[in-house]
Amino acid sequence: MGAVVPCHSASVFCMCWRVESLSIDNTAEITLRHTPLFSEHQRLKARLAPFGEWEKPIDYGSIIEEHNATRRKAGLFDLSHMGEFIVSGPQALELISVLLTNDPRVLNPGQGQYALMCRDDGTIVDDVIVYKLPGQGPTPYLLVVNAGNMDKDWQWVQQVCAKEGLAGDSTVENRSDQTALIAVQGPLAEEIVATSAEESLANVTPFSIREAAIRGIPCMIARTGYTGEDGFEIFVSAERALDLWTIIHGIGGPSGLRPVGLGARDTLRLEARLPLYGNDIDDTTTPLEAGLGRWVKLDKPRFCGKEAIETQKREGIRRTLVGLKMTDRSVPRAHYPVLSPVGAEIGIVTSGSFSPTLGYGIALAYVPPAYAEVGSAVQVDIRSHPHPALVVKTPFYRRRKATTI
């Protein structure tokens, strides 16, 4: 067999690996960026790999064990590569309303929402979470963007500012280098983070954010995540990131909290059908094609991409993102062709993996609407052999909500 190296071909954010049949490349001289937790990942003997311009943990031994720990107990993630833009000043709301497909005008201080940032033609620049930061008066907005899109996002924001006659420099600030992000996800997340913060988090509702001090470390705790589990994403200064990680790991470790790398982050988010930018959505796809129409508010007076998305809604989409379940033991991967039952190429897999929770291969794929109905039989071309698959309902996995006694 050959060496396994990360795939660089499709995009910087492609979460697939390709197999290099030549010898292993130890000569990577390009300087990869490291988060403030890099020394901790080395101490934990993480398997490291390039991820865009970052060197990040893929796993700390076993993707399946880390996946299951997050589903059953809790996982600890270093997401410090993510980008954080602060949008403030009198024009802040006007700017993000134009930038985002969702409606940030409804956000009260301490609330957030998922949104897409689209171009005028409706294609997706990035998917983001926007928070109106807690506090009195006109609080700033925090825009959390994908690491691999940060430069592109920044340029797009500045371009929109210029077009709208807004003062880009005074309105938007890139705080990514100063900000670390640590996530705790899973059924034990609330208990672990509440114990760490020494306060109840019961009223930190999904997508809300609050200021806190965890053993004296100032941070912002948001109830969000990318795993399909309950959980928190904690923003902290880069200088205090290692202290915060160590405190939370120490408190949660005895009850089963374990560090989780990007490998399990990908299988967790795929089971929950959370799109990955660069795979399932990108510069060529639209929110309607990706099934993200819920987060597009066409009743908002205007935003970038509104007319194009309205037109697409009226005329209909030509491809749609569906969930596939392999009915044999094969494993679908990004870029594999999707075939009709008679073998005609009809679409493409954008994300695929063995599902640790379900025990079979699952995928997200673009297919024509005629094949999108749940129960439709299709095939996935795996190394030139067709393998049977069914279109299934997504998310593939939905957590059981806590039951009240």
Partner 1 sequence: MNPDDLLYASSHEWVRRGDPATIGITHFAQDQLGDVVYVELPVVGAVLSAGEIFGNVESVKTASDLYAPVSGTVVETNTQLVESPELLNTSPYDKGWLIKVKLDNEEDLGNLLDRAAYETNVAH
Task: Name the residues that contact partner 1, by CB under 8 A.
Answer: 1-4, 16-19, 21, 23-24, 26, 47, 58-59, 62-64, 67, 263, 266-267, 329-331, 333, 353-354, 356, 382-383
Please check whether residue 276 is in contact with residue 217, taking contact to mean a CB–CB distance below 8 angstroms: no
Give the CA radius of gyration of the chain: 21
Q: How far is the CB of 16 from partner 1 (least distance, A)?
A: 7
Q: How far does Cα 99 stand from its chain's mean position?
A: 19
Q: What are phi and psi of 251, to 5 degrees?
A: -75, -40
Q: How far is the CB of 199 from partner 1 (least distance, A)?
A: 37
Q: How far apart, in whole angstroms, are the C-alpha atoms of residue 368 and residue 162?
A: 38
Q: How far is the CB of 147 from partner 1 (least distance, A)?
A: 19
Residue 203 is classified by DSSP as T
In the complex with partner 1, which residue's Cβ is closer, 16 or 308?
16
Q: How far apart, in whole angstroms, are the C-alpha atoms of residue 54 and residue 252?
A: 27
In the complex with partner 1, which residue's Cβ is closer, 273 or 333?
333
Q: How far is the CB of 275 from partner 1 (least distance, A)?
A: 19
In the complex with partner 1, which residue's Cβ is closer, 26 or 284?
26
In the complex with partner 1, which residue's Cβ is closer, 6 or 140?
6
Q: How far is the CB of 351 from partner 1 (least distance, A)?
A: 12
Q: How far apart, in whole angstroms, are the C-alpha atoms of residue 141 and residue 153?
A: 16
- What does each C-alpha distance from 122 to 280, 294, 299, 306, 311 come to in angstroms? 15, 15, 16, 7, 10
In the complex with partner 1, which residue's Cβ is closer, 292 or 326?
326
Q: Which residues contact residue 359 at a Cβ distance below 8 angstroms, ignoring those fewer than 6 apart?
A: none
Q: How far is the CB of 294 from partner 1 (least distance, A)?
A: 30
Structure tokens at 199: 């306060």
Q: How far is the CB of 107 from partner 1 (least distance, A)?
A: 37
42 C-beta neighbours (distance < 10 Å), count: 12
Q: How big is the chain, counted in residues?
A: 405
In the complex with partner 1, which residue's Cβ is closer, 4 or 167?
4
DSSP string, 23-68: -------S--B--TTHHHHHHTTPEEEEETTEEEEEESS-HHHHHH
Residue 9 is classified by DSSP as S
Q: How far is the CB of 130 from partner 1 (least distance, A)?
A: 31
In the complex with partner 1, which residue's Cβ is closer, 83 or 263?
263
Q: Regarding beta strands 257-259 and 74-78, do their DSSP bridges make them parallel or antiparallel, or are they unpaired?
A: parallel
Cα–Cα–Cα angle for 20, 23, 29, nearest 5°?
90
Q: How far is the CB of 5 from partner 1 (least distance, A)?
A: 9
In the complex with partner 1, which residue's Cβ is closer, 385 or 400?
385
Using left for φ > 0, alpha for ψ between -120 and 50, and beta otherwise, residue 148 falls in alpha
Q: How far apart, in whole angstroms, are the C-alpha atoms of residue 350 and residue 336?
A: 8
In the complex with partner 1, which residue's Cβ is closer, 306 or 333?
333
Q: How far is the CB of 26 from partner 1 (least distance, A)?
A: 7
Identify the CA nearest to 161 among candidates 99, 84, 85, 89: 99
Q: How far is the CB of 44 from partner 1 (least distance, A)?
A: 16
In the complex with partner 1, which residue's Cβ is closer, 77 or 354?
354
In the complex with partner 1, which residue's Cβ is closer, 68 or 111?
68
SS3 237: strand
Type of residue found at 42? Q
